[in-house]
Structure 1
Amino acid sequence: MAVPSIDASVSGGCLHVLVKGELIYEHQALLREQFDELLQHGDACIVVDLTQVGFCDSSGLNVLLDLRLQAEQNGRQLLLACVPDPLRRLLEITGSDQVLRIYDTVAEADAACVP
């Protein structure tokens, strides 16, 4: 089980977040804590790069959906980039792809960010 970690950097008005590891039930409290810290930044857009996510279960999906809701409540945008195929299928099966903004690359997510 790969414990998730989050690396964040700011670039051009966007907070870039690289998520590594597994987004699973056992790690949801840690993920929520890490994402709560990120929400303290004042950037208009949060681009979450999921390239290095090995697995995501329904708890991990709920963390992403909650993050989107919290971002929007604070007048910010959440954009997902580089979503691995298994996670993309989970988003499609659950209909979450209808509420989460998904981009193939970080550059495409950056371009879609409207401050």
Structure 2
Amino acid sequence: MTITGEIDLYTAPGLQSEFARLLQESPTTYVVLDLSKVEFCDSTGMNVLLAALKRLRERGGTMELAAPRPAVRKILQVTGLDSVFTVHDAVPDESLSAEPQG
């Protein structure tokens, strides 16, 4: 699943809805979020990502973050969320061959 733009107070509800739709319509338990096109993410956005991770873990799944830009990576590090999420420098090859998630 690729996210673009900013994840903030104004855009987070749309992302949250998209996660809810994905989890409701699909048996998906493994999600890789390509963050290479995310320019900014505030605490509201991080909370949406955490909530999605929690819902996936309740199903026995997980969510990983891939290719965050330096500003987003810094937020992950400062908040300690880089130890909660698996963070890849690039999108993992195995997720490229999987069925598209978004």
What is the TM-score with the length of structure 2 in the denominator? 0.85
Give the partner amino acid of 2:69: P
Matched, 1:89 2:74: yes
In the TM superposition, residue 75 of structure 1 has moved relative to its aligned partner by 1.2
Aligned pair in 2 of structure 1 residues 97, 108: CA closer, same or farther (>3 Å)? farther
Cα distance, 1:108 vs structure 2: 5.3
**Do structure 1's residue 29 and structure 2's residue 25 form an aligned pair?**
no
Structure 1 residues 58 and 109: alpha-carbon distance in aligned structure 2, compared to 1, 3 A threshold = farther
What runs of 5+ residues in structure 1 fail to find an aligned partner?
1-16, 111-115
Q: Provide runs of 4+ in structure 1 moved above 4 Å.
A: none
Counterpart CA distance in 1 for 2:16 and 2:92 is 25
What percentage of aligned pairs have identical amino acids? 33
2:91 maps to 106
Higher relative contact order (CA 8 A, sep 6+): 2
CA distance in 2 between counterparts of 1:64 and 1:73 reads 14
| Structure 2 unaligned regions, length at least 5 | 96-102
- Determine which structure has the larger strand proportion and give its number: 1
CA RMSD of aligned residues (A): 1.6
